Structure 1
Amino acid sequence: VDRKALMQFRERALNPEHPVTRGTAQNPDIFFQARESSNSFYSKVPEIVLDYMNKISKLTGREYKPFNYVGAKDAEYVIVAMGSVTDTIDETVQYLNKSGEKVGVVKVHLYRPFSTEFFLQSIPKTARKIAVLDRTKEPGATGDPLYLDVRDVFHEVGNKPIIVGGRYGLSSKDTTPGQIKAVFDNLKLAGPKNGFTIGINDDVTHTSLEVKEEIETAPEGTIRCKFWGLGSDGTVGANKNAIKIIGDNTDLYAQGYFAYDSKKSGGLTISHLRFGKNPIRSTYLISDADFVACHNQAYIGQYDLLKGLKDGGTFLLNCQWSDRDLDGKLPASIKKYLCGHNIDFYIIDATDIAAEIGLGSRINMIMQSAFFKLAKVIPLDDAVKYMKEAIKKTYGKKGEKIVQMNYQAVDKGIESLRKVKIPDSWKDAVEVEDVAEAQEPEFIKNILRV
């Protein structure tokens, strides 16, 4: 620690022993002049920021600039954006360029002050059309903030590209590679749409771009897992623990996104986990999964649990049903999917196991060990060792009895898994229409039940 710098910092703090005047009101005779006098300071900021970014780049090995360009050197179509969506765009750009496209993305790291010089340096000279993505809505304006900045930069530039703007991600609306591809598809049109939106179906003012194709852009070998849980049943905590175990004890990269409904406790939770040998930049929810687990049997028939589960994938269901009960309990849509996509189907009665052990409704440790056995992200013996070490660390202060109960849960989760032999008859399963459900309004069926 630089003690001298620390002391200087402390001496600048507010102190009654040496009072200073700050934040006073200014009258009209001087306020305007005072505001304009700050111009020279703002004009120096980009160079200062660049200098520190260069130092950070040397320390971390990652290149930082006020504007970072990623993509083809001779790109014709470029997206400009800032924030976490740039990783999704980065993934999509790499994917499209491998297939022969000429596209790129400019990642904005210094928004204010906006440096015209640095921005123009980041844009390929070959760029013919640019799409600017904003994560905000400015009602009544001719465009959103970043779009207006970019358009202004090119105002006096000769042979300027066509520039359009669009919106994404309001209220954390998911933004996928397929939607980013739709932005590039829009740029390829003779007259690309301006003021567009992605991620929604705007059936009122018709601003949405059509997603013609969902694409898979994550690095090869990435394992994608999706968990349907009940708020407060421990599912989210167990998944966070799984990420920590894998991230701390292996060379694998790990990522987790957690979606909750507004009720939190007692409501629906969906955990989206990714693991892989390469850095994971997929800043969006999982649509195509290798492994799906449903921790609450009540969700069967309520949600499309298997949507996106890959051919040959694994489905784990926590339920209190026997193998015979499954034929009458599972909807025809699930039966047909399991059969038609060659899914490995496993069941476990974690609810009764947790009650027998004394854990009440906390099924998290049982389901976590079952996940490690089926997903095979890391060797099972290593997973058991790491889980029990985590249990000791987490519950050690609560007594040996609690620790042993959780040890039992880990062992039971592995021992109690049952693989279901899927009958050939399931491929022709027919849905038995529920009279009450058939009388439900379309809003209930297509909105609330989706």
Structure 2
Amino acid sequence: MNSEGLLQAPCTELSDTGLLASTYTASQGLLLMIPNMYKMAGEHLPAVFHVAARTIATHSLSVHGDHADIMAVRQTGCTIMVSEDIQEAMDMAIAAHLTAIYSSYPVVHAFDGFRTSHTIKKVELIDYEHLRPHVPYDEIEAFRQKSLSPQHPEMRGSCQGPPIWMQAGEADNKHYAEIPGHVERAFEKVREITGRSYKFFNYFGAPDATAVVIIMGSGYLTVHEVVEYLVERGDKVGVVCVHLFRPFCGDKLLEAIPTSCRRICVMEKAKEIMAGAEPLRLDVIEALYSGNRLSAVTTVIGGIFGLSSKDFNTADAFAISRNLQATTPLNNFTVGIEDDVTHMSLKRDPASPSLVPKGTVQCLFFGMGSDGVVGANKNAIKIISDNTPLFTQGHFDYDSFKAGGFTSAHLRFGDKPIRCEYLIHDADFTAVSQPSYLTKYNILLVERCKPGSLLLLNTSASNVEEVTAAIPKNMRKMIEDEGLKLMVMDASEISLEAGLPGRINSALQTES
């Protein structure tokens, strides 16, 4: 197949013949499937689309993540579920397949591209033997009985016109209305299998919260950390995580939001150009209107975060909370960037406290594509996960270059669960694999070092004078000011001696 559009055609035909089909895609690949998605929804075919939600190429290509592709298919009629992390992606995948079978309807299961799809984390695997008793064989058989067969011929793919097309489409409303019940049934099955409970909208925060943030995807965990911190201080704040985006059940959202709520901020990982508001905020406003809550909720603002995997950390979440509780909050704002053009960004507070669990060790590795640093760190975090009781997290950031691009590996491990869905900003250990980076990136390499932490440089310098000459003056000053403990090694020479030129990962990993 030379495109995802062609790839989707067999899924449609397989479903038509009574087989359960699923596919995996993202970004432009998902957009190429849109014509088939309309047909599959209209013909009630229970396929599942697993989507690592990623940026759609506009002014530039980007292989990183946001929700642009998911928002582009929200009108196809498919059910859309969204996971917030790796463990939930496994659980929601089960729910997605069960919902598709129960409802005989296509389901899109989305999770954040890169932030979730490219992170390694310790999770609880679900054994297929535990799933087997919950397979809905009766519904599967009923679906197969409706498939195309010469034993019971029927007409599909017909062409209709004004006399009947609208009536046939509206008659499906009854079917759409039943989908939330099927999703709830699937969530209950997931609870029976895993012990983890999911709702369409999960709320966390003060029971009498007056300010609530509504968000979808991995960004929820970042806001969750800040809300937990603020509630412990007595602030009346909360956060709602959206698990079921389509169909959007406004009544369930209102059940999740405390009746004491007066202000709402809807954060979206997508930008709808030239629209008055982004899609999720419009859904929230409609739910408030239909539920007669707009008179009580006096403020509904929106913001954008995380486009093309722009880092969204707790400092951004603190800024969102401060803005929401301000006398005149800024609307249609952005976080994570400094907007010096339209001046619509919220400023991060550098004094915001770190919410990384105490005792968590954070390691940061800067490398170059094809030097093996990312691969070595993937192996390291897997070894720690498999052979220790520690909680682990490994996130890897790189671009679309096959080789030679800038890469970074962010590793965390500790005794407490790690919910930090953002890059490391205060590393206990930092390693730089390329000598050229010292002049090319300079102080950017040490800005994320925790005061007093370890810094390992790959350089051929062998004495104090040579090391001093290799490090730029302003970088040396920052190393001194932060009290960093500097170590150097010639990993390049070691790799040459081992007959592995350029593959400096093993040497750096051993020294670490």
- Length-normalised TM-score, structure 1: 0.78
Whether 1:312 aligns to 2:452 is yes
Shift of 1:53: 1.3
Report if the CA contact (8 A) 1:168-1:198 is conserved.
yes
**Structure 1 CA distance, aligned partners of 2:322 and 2:229?**
14
Report if the CA contact (8 A) 2:364-2:409 is conserved.
yes
Q: Which one of the candidate residues 35, 46, 50 is aligned to 2:184?
A: 50
Report if the CA contact (8 A) 1:224-1:273 is conserved.
yes
Aligned to 1:194: 331
- Aligned amino acid, residue 500 of structure 2: L
**Structure 1 CA distance, aligned partners of 2:347 and 2:405?**
32
Q: Tell me: CA distance 1:15–1:353, structure 2 relative to 1, closer, same or farther (3 Å).
A: farther
Alignment of structure 1 residues 42-191 onto 2, 5 Å? 42-155=176-289, 156-157=292-293, 158-191=295-328
Q: Which one of the candidate residues 335, 351, 357 is aligned to 1:219?
A: 357
Shift of 1:107: 0.3
**Structure 2 CA distance, aligned partners of 1:275 and 1:15?**
55
Shift of 1:11: 5.5
Report if the CA contact (8 A) 2:362-2:424 is conserved.
yes
- Aligned amino acid, residue 320 of structure 1: S
Alignment of structure 1 residues 3-18 onto 2, 5 Å? 5=138, 14=148
- Aligned amino acid, residue 328 of structure 1: A
Higher mean C-alpha displacement, 41-50 vs 352-361:
41-50
Whether 1:205 aligns to 2:342 is yes
Cα deviation digits, residues 313-356 of structure 1 (max 9, x gap): 11111111112311211112222233222222111111111111
Aligned to 1:346: 487
Pairwise CA RMSD: 2.0
**Structure 1 CA distance, aligned partners of 2:158 and 2:453?**
65
Report if the CA contact (8 A) 1:54-1:65 is conserved.
no
- Aligned amino acid, residue 412 of structure 2: R
- Aligned amino acid, residue 311 of structure 1: P
Aligned to 1:283: 421
Report if the CA contact (8 A) 1:127-1:161 is conserved.
no
- Aligned amino acid, residue 91 of structure 1: E
Aligned length, in residue pairs: 371
Q: Tell me: CA distance 1:256–1:12, structure 2 relative to 1, closer, same or farther (3 Å).
A: farther
Shift of 1:16: 6.5
Shift of 1:17: 6.9
Report if the CA contact (8 A) 1:133-1:166 is conserved.
yes
Q: Which one of the candidate residues 409, 430, 437 is aligned to 1:299?
A: 437
Aligned to 2:478: 337
Percent sequence identity over aligned pairs: 44
User: Which portions of structure 1, spanning 4 or more consecutive aligned residues, are displaced by more than 4 angstroms?
Assistant: 1-20
Shift of 1:193: 1.5
**Structure 1 CA distance, aligned partners of 2:208 and 2:361?**
33
Report if the CA contact (8 A) 2:251-2:287 is conserved.
no
Gaps of 5+ in 2: 1-131
- Aligned amino acid, residue 269 of structure 1: T
Report if the CA contact (8 A) 2:429-2:453 is conserved.
yes
Shift of 1:20: 4.4
- Aligned amino acid, residue 76 of structure 1: T
State which structure, 1 or 2, has the greater radius of gyration over its C-alpha atoms: 1
**Structure 1 CA distance, aligned partners of 2:197 and 2:387?**
28
Higher mean C-alpha displacement, 272-281 vs 2-11:
2-11
Report if the CA contact (8 A) 1:72-1:102 is conserved.
yes
Q: Tell me: CA distance 1:337–1:43, structure 2 relative to 1, closer, same or farther (3 Å).
A: same
- Length-normalised TM-score, structure 2: 0.69
3-state SS, counterpart of residue 104 of structure 1 = strand
Q: Tell me: CA distance 1:161–1:222, structure 2 relative to 1, closer, same or farther (3 Å).
A: farther
3-state SS, counterpart of residue 233 of structure 1 = coil
Whether 1:361 aligns to 2:495 is no
Whether 1:41 aligns to 2:41 is no
Cα deviation digits, residues 261-290 of structure 1 (max 9, x gap): 343401211111111222222111111111
Of structures 1 and 2, the one scoring higher in RCO (CA 8 A, sep 6+) is: 2
Higher mean C-alpha displacement, 261-270 vs 137-146:
261-270
**Structure 2 CA distance, aligned partners of 1:112 and 1:28?**
28
Aligned to 1:321: 461
Aligned to 1:32: 166
Cα deviation digits, residues 108-160 of structure 1 (max 9, x gap): 11111111221111001221211001122222222111101111111232423
